[in-house]
C-alpha cells in the first residue's frame, strides 16, 4: 500500500513538471520516512548522498560528455554530414542515407540523442529540402537517426544502465556496436524502401569523383581516429571505460586546439556545458538511489520476480511485455529516467528468466529509441520540429516507417541474442 | 533585500561552478597522465583513485547543482505542464521547491555536523596519503546549502506570485529542460 502511494506520488511529481532527479528524491524521502521514520531516513541520506557521486567509475559520464563538447567545438560534427553526402549523395535517397550515417558518426561523438537530432536538423534537413525531398521523409529520418547516439559507443545511456544494473560498462559499450550498425542499416534499408516506392520523394544528388570523395574525409579523419582509439582501447582491455573516457576527452581537447578552435572562452563554455549535463545526470542517479532504497526495503522487487517466475508463460512473452512497457514509457519519459526507474525492477525479472544483463541493456536502449520518435512526447521529434521549424505531425508521420522497422529489428535481437553478446564475449 | 539575495546567490553559484569546472578538467588531466605514466614509465599515480573519488567527484556534482538548477538544466517532463493553468504551476513549483529544499537542508544539517565532528577530531581516511575526511562532508554541506537556499527562495517567490498575482519569479521555461 505504501509502495503504491509513493509510486503514485512520484508520477504526480513527474507529471507536474518537477525535475526527474528531484521527483525521485522527494518520493524516496517520503517513502523512507513513512517506512522507518527519521533514523532510517537520516541513515540513508548520510550514506547515499556521498557514495552515489564519489564512485570512481562514474567519471566516464562527465568525461564522455566533455569529449563530445570538445569535438563539437572543433567543428568536426558539421563536416560529417557533408562528407557522408559526398560519398552517398548520388544513390537514391542519398542525402537521407547520409543523414543516417552522420547520425551514427555523431552518436559516436556525443552519446546524446537530442544533441544529435538538433545538429542533424540544422545541417541535413535544409540540404534535403533544397534537393526536393519530401519533408516528412526528411524529418523522419533525422529524428530516428538522432537516436543512434543512445546506442553507439560511447553511449551515456548504456553507461547509466551499467551503473544502475552493476554490469560491466566496457562490455555494454562494446555490446552496442553490432546493434548500432544494424540499426543504421535498418534506417538505410527503410529509406531505400520508401524511395523505391516513390522515387519522387527523394531526387538524386550530384555525383563526385573519387578524389573529391577522399578529400571530403579531411575534415573528419581526426574524429574517426579518436573514436577508433577510444573504442579500441576498451575492446582490447588496454584501458577501462573510465580511463578511455578521460583519454578521449584529452584527445578531443588536443584536436580542438590543433584546429585553432580552442580559446579560453570556448574552453569555459564546453566545460560548463559538460558540468551542467553531468550534474543533471548525477541528480537523477542520486534520486534513483534514494528511491531505490525505499523500494528495496518494501520488498516490491523480490515479490514481483517471484510472481513473474510463477507465471505459466514462456520467457519471450514476458520479454515482449517488458519491451512494450519500455516503448510506452519512452513516449512519455526521458531515457535516463526510464533506466533509473525500471532497471532495478525489470532486470531481476529478466535475469530470473535466464537472459543476459548485457543483452537486456542493449535491447532496452533500442526499445527506448522507438519511444524517442513516437507520439505524444517523443523527445527527438520535438527537437527536430523545433530546430527545423516543421510541423510536429510531419515528423511523427515521417518517423512511423522507421518505428515499424525498429520493431522488426527488436524481434531479431530478441530471437538472436548473440548479435549483442558475441563482440563482448571476445573482449580481452 | 530580494535583489541582494539574488545577486549573492548568483555570485556564489559562479564561484562554486568555477571550482566544479576546475575539478572536472583536473579529473581529465589526472586520469590522462595516470594512464600515460602507467604505460610509458610503469609508474602510475597511486593517489589518483582516492583523490578523484573522495574529493573531485563530489565537488563536480555538489558545486554545480545550484547553478544547474538556476540554468534550468535539470531535465523534467512537461507534457501536462503546458496544459496547466498558471496558478496550478505556481502551486506545484511552490510545493516541489519547498519539499526539495527540505531534502537539501537535511543534507546540510547531516553533513555540516559530521564535517565539524571529523574536523575537530582530526579524522583521516588512511590511503596512500592520509586524506582529511571532513572535506567531502563539507563539500556536500556547502553545495546543499546553496541549492537549498535557492530552492527556498523559489518556493517563496512562487507562493508570493500566487498570492499577489504578480510574477515575482518567472515560471520555468517550457520544453524539456
Question: B76 to chain A nearest CA, in Å?
Answer: 4
Substitution target in A272, A286, A387 with the highest count of B β-carbons within 10 Å is A272
Using an 8 Å CB-CB cutoff, list chain A residues near B34. 243
Residue pair A42/A137 in contact by the 8 Å Cβ criterion? no
Using an 8 Å CB-CB cutoff, list chain A residues near B81. 16-17
Residue A216, CB-side half-sphere exposure with 13 Å CA sphere: 18
Residue pair B98/B162 in contact by the 8 Å Cβ criterion? no
Instruction: Enumerate residues 6+ apart whose C-beta is below 8 A from B169.
Output: B153, B154, B157, B158, B161
pLDDT score, position B177:
39
C-alpha–C-alpha distance, residues A187 and A99, integer Å: 10
pLDDT score, position B78:
66
Using an 8 Å CB-CB cutoff, list chain A residues near B62. 53
C-alpha cell at A360: 537486456
Question: B164 to chain A nearest CA, in Å?
Answer: 22
**Integer distance in angstroms from the first to the last C-alpha of chain A?**
48
C-alpha–C-alpha distance, residues A89 and A67, integer Å: 29
Record: contact B21-A268, CB cut-off 8 A: yes
Record: contact B61-A53, CB cut-off 8 A: yes
Record: contact B61-A279, CB cut-off 8 A: yes
Record: contact B81-A16, CB cut-off 8 A: yes
CA geometry: angle A303, A304, A310, nearest 5 deg: 90
Burial call A279-295: b when 16+ CB within 10 Å, e when fewer = bbbbbbbbbbbbbbbbb
pLDDT score, position A377:
66
Using an 8 Å CB-CB cutoff, list chain A residues near B17. 272, 275
Record: contact B29-A276, CB cut-off 8 A: no
CA of A233: which chain B residue's CA is closest? B35
Record: contact A26-B99, CB cut-off 8 A: yes
CA of A33: which chain B residue's CA is closest? B103
pLDDT score, position A191:
94
Residue pair A384/A146 in contact by the 8 Å Cβ criterion? yes
Q: How do residues A69-122 score in pLDDT, each as one tens digit?
A: 888 888 776 788 888 888 887 888 899 999 898 888 877 776 677 777 877 887
Substitution target in B15, B18, B57 with the highest count of A β-carbons within 10 Å is B57
Rg (CA), chain A: 22
**Residue matched to cell numbers 571529523:** B118
The per-residue pLDDT string of chain B (177 residues; one tens digit each, 9 = 90 and over) reads: 567 777 888 999 999 999 999 999 999 999 999 999 988 888 889 999 999 999 999 999 999 999 999 998 887 776 677 778 889 999 999 999 999 999 999 999 999 999 999 999 999 998 888 999 999 999 999 999 999 999 999 999 999 999 998 888 887 764 443
Residue pair B75/A278 in contact by the 8 Å Cβ criterion? no
Q: Where are the beta strands (DSSP E) in B93-134?
A: 124-126, 130-132
Question: Which of A50, A54, A334 is facing B77, going by the closest CB pair?
Answer: A334
A residues 124-153 lying closer than 8 A (beta carbon) to B: none
Q: Which residues of chain A have pLDDT under 50?
A: none
Record: contact A62-B27, CB cut-off 8 A: yes
Long-range CB contacts (< 8 A, 24+ apart) of A219-223? Answer: A219/A75, A219/A76, A219/A79, A219/A82, A219/A83, A220/A76, A220/A79, A220/A80, A220/A83, A220/A105, A222/A74, A222/A76, A222/A255, A222/A258, A222/A259, A223/A71, A223/A74, A223/A76, A223/A80, A223/A105, A223/A109, A223/A255
Question: B5 to chain A nearest CA, in Å?
Answer: 23
Nearest to B69 by CA among B97, B95, B90, B36: B97
Question: A234 to chain B nearest CA, in Å?
Answer: 13
Question: Which of B54, B60, B110 is facing A45, going by the closest CB pair?
Answer: B110
Record: contact B81-A17, CB cut-off 8 A: yes
Distances (CA, A) of A27 to A10, A102, B58, B79: 5, 40, 23, 20
A residues 408-427 lying closer than 8 A (beta carbon) to B: none
C-alpha–C-alpha distance, residues B175 and B37, integer Å: 45
pLDDT score, position B79:
64
Among the residues of A20-112, which ranges form H helices?
Answer: 20-51, 60-73, 76-88, 94-110
Substitution target in B59, B68, B82, B145 with the highest count of A β-carbons within 10 Å is B68
Residue pair A277/B59 in contact by the 8 Å Cβ criterion? no
Q: How do residues A2-33 score in pLDDT, each as one tens digit?
A: 888 998 999 899 888 898 899 999 999 999 99
pLDDT score, position A228:
86
Amino acid at each position: 500500500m505504501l509502495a503504491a502511494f509513493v509510486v503514485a506520488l512520484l508520477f504526480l511529481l513527474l507529471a507536474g513538471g518537477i525535475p526527474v532527479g528531484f521527483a525521485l528524491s522527494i518520493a524516496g524521502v517520503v517513502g523512507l520516512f513513512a517506512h522507518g521514520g527519521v533514523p532510517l531516513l537520516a541513515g540513508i541520506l548520510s550514506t547515499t548522498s556521498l557514495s552515489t557521486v564519489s564512485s570512481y567509475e562514474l567519471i566516464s559520464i562527465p568525461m564522455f560528455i566533455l569529449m563530445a563538447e570538445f569535438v563539437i567545438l572543433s567543428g568536426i560534427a558539421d563536416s560529417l554530414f557533408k562528407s557522408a553526402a559526398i560519398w552517398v549523395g548520388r544513390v537514391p535517397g542519398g542525402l537521407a542515407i547520409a543523414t543516417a550515417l552522420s547520425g551514427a558518426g555523431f552518436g559516436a561523438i556525443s552519446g546524446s540523442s537530442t544533441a544529435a537530432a538538433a545538429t542533424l536538423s540544422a545541417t541535413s534537413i535544409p540540404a534535403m529540402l533544397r534537393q526536393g525531398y519530401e519533408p516528412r521523409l526528411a524529418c523522419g529520418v533525422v529524428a530516428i537517426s538522432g537516436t543512434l547516439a543512445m546506442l553507439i559507443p560511447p553511449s551515456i545511456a548504456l553507461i547509466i544502465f551499467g551503473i544502475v544494473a552493476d554490469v560491466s560498462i566496457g562490455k555494454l559499450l562494446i555490446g552496442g556496436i553490432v546493434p548500432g550498425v544494424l540499426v543504421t542499416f535498418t534506417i538505410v534499408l527503410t529509406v531505400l524502401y520508401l524511395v523505391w516506392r516513390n522515387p519522387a520523394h527523394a531526387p538524386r544528388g550530384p555525383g563526385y569523383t573519387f578524389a573529391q570523395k577522399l578529400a571530403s574525409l579531411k575534415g573528419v579523419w581526426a574524429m574517426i581516429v579518436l573514436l577508433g582509439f577510444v573504442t579500441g582501447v576498451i575492446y582490447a582491455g588496454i584501458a577501462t571505460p573510465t580511463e578511455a573516457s578521460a583519454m578521449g576527452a584529452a584527445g578531443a581537447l588536443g584536436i580542438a586546439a590543433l584546429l585553432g578552435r580552442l580559446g579560453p572562452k570556448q574552453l569555459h563554455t564546453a566545460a560548463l556545458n559538460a558540468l551542467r549535463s553531468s550534474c543533471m545526470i548525477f541528480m537523477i542517479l542520486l534520486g534513483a538511489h534514494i528511491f531505490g532504497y525505499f523500494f528495496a526495503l518494501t520488498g516490491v522487487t523480490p515479490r514481483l520476480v517471484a510472481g513473474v517466475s510463477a507465471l505459466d508463460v514462456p520467457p519471450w512473452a514476458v520479454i515482449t511485455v517488458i519491451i512494450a512497457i519500455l516503448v510506452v514509457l519512452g513516449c512519455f519519459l526521458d531515457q535516463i529516467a526510464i533506466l533509473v526507474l525500471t532497471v532495478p525492477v525489470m532486470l531481476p525479472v529478466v535475469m530470473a528468466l535466464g537472459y543476459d544483463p548485457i543483452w537486456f541493456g542493449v535491447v532496452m536502449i533500442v526499445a527506448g529509441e522507438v519511444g524517442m520518435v513516437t507520439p505524444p512526447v517523443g523527445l527527438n521529434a520535438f527537437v527536430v520540429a523545433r530546430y527545423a521549424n516543421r510541423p510536429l505531425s510531419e515528423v511523427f508521420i515521417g518517423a512511423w516507417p522507421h518505428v515499424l522497422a525498429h520493431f522488426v529489428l527488436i524481434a531479431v535481437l530478441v530471437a538472436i541474442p548473440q548479435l549483442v553478446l558475441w563482440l563482448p564475449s571476445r573482449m580481452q | 533585500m530580494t535583489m541582494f539575495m539574488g545577486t549573492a546567490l548568483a555570485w556564489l553559484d559562479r564561484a562554486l561552478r568555477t571550482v566544479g569546472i576546475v575539478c572536472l578538467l583536473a579529473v581529465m588531466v589526472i586520469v590522462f597522465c595516470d594512464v600515460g605514466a602507467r604505460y610509458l614509465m610503469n609508474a602510475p599515480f597511486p593517489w589518483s583513485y582516492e583523490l578523484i573519488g573522495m574529493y573531485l567527484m563530489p565537488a563536480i556534482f555538489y558545486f554545480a547543482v545550484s547553478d544547474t538548477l538556476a540554468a534550468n538544466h535539470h531535465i523534467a517532463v512537461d507534457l501536462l505542464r503546458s496544459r496547466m493553468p498558471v496558478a496550478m504551476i505556481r502551486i506545484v513549483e511552490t510545493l516541489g521547491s519547498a519539499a526539495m529544499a527540505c531534502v537539501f537542508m537535511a543534507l546540510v544539517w547531516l553533513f555540516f555536523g559530521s564535517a565539524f565532528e571529523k574536523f575537530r577530531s582530526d579524522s583521516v581516511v588512511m590511503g596512500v596519503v592520509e586524506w582529511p575526511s571532513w572535506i567531502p562532508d563539507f563539500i556536500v554541506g556547502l553545495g546543499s546549502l546553496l541549492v537549498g537556499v535557492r530552492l527556498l527562495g523559489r518556493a517563496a517567490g512562487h507562493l508570493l506570485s500566487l498570492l499577489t498575482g504578480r510574477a515575482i519569479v518567472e515560471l520555468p521555461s517550457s520544453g524539456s529542460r
